Structures are given as structure tokens and as C-alpha cells.
């Protein structure tokens, strides 16, 4: 039985998280390419900041998904 405050996710919700992980990975790859190709330092800075933001999102989603899959929490 799940603990209070830790609802279990359905298989559909887990699929959505996996899909979002792929979208975050794609955003990171694109933004890294844009940062490398940009000639304007401000554009480079903005792209690099966005890469950090999307990596943070990716890491958070992955942490919750891994915890769910190995049974450490009732995410």
C-alpha cells in the first residue's frame, strides 16, 4: 500500500515522464548546438543557460523515474 503523500503513478503517467525525458534530451542537444554555432555572446549565454535549465529538468525527471522503477518511493 502506498504511503500517504506518495501516490503511485499509472503506466500512462510513467510513459509521459519517459516521453518528457526524450524531449528534454532533444532540447539539450539542440541548445548545445545553437550555443556552439552562435556568434553573439549574449545568444551563447542564453543558450547555455537554457541547457542548464533543461539538464536540471532531465535530472529531476530521471531521479523520480529511477526511484519509481527500483521501488525506493511510491512516486
Best CA proximity match to 64, nearest among 24, 26, 18: 18
CA distance 51 to 33: 10
For residue 73, give the 3-state DSSP assignment.
coil
What local confidence, expressed as pLDDT, does residue 75 receive? 42
Counting other chains too, the contacts that 39-48 makes at CB distance below 8 Å and 24 or more residues apart are none
Q: Can you give the pTM of this predicted structure?
A: 0.78
* pLDDT tens by residue, the chain, 75 residues: 445 555 677 889 888 988 999 999 999 999 999 999 999 999 999 999 999 999 999 999 998 888 776 655 444
Q: What residues contact residue 35 under an 8 Å CB cut-off, 6+ apart?
A: 43, 44, 47, 48, 51
Amino acid at each position: 500500500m502506498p504511503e500517504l503523500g506518495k501516490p503511485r503513478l499509472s503506466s500512462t503517467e510513467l510513459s509521459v515522464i519517459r516521453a518528457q525525458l526524450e524531449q528534454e534530451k532533444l532540447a539539450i542537444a539542440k541548445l548545445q548546438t545553437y550555443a556552439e554555432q552562435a556568434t553573439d555572446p549574449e545568444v551563447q549565454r542564453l543558450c547555455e543557460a537554457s541547457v542548464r535549465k533543461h539538464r536540471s529538468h532531465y535530472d529531476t525527471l530521471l531521479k523520480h523515474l529511477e526511484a519509481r522503477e527500483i521501488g525506493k518511493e511510491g512516486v
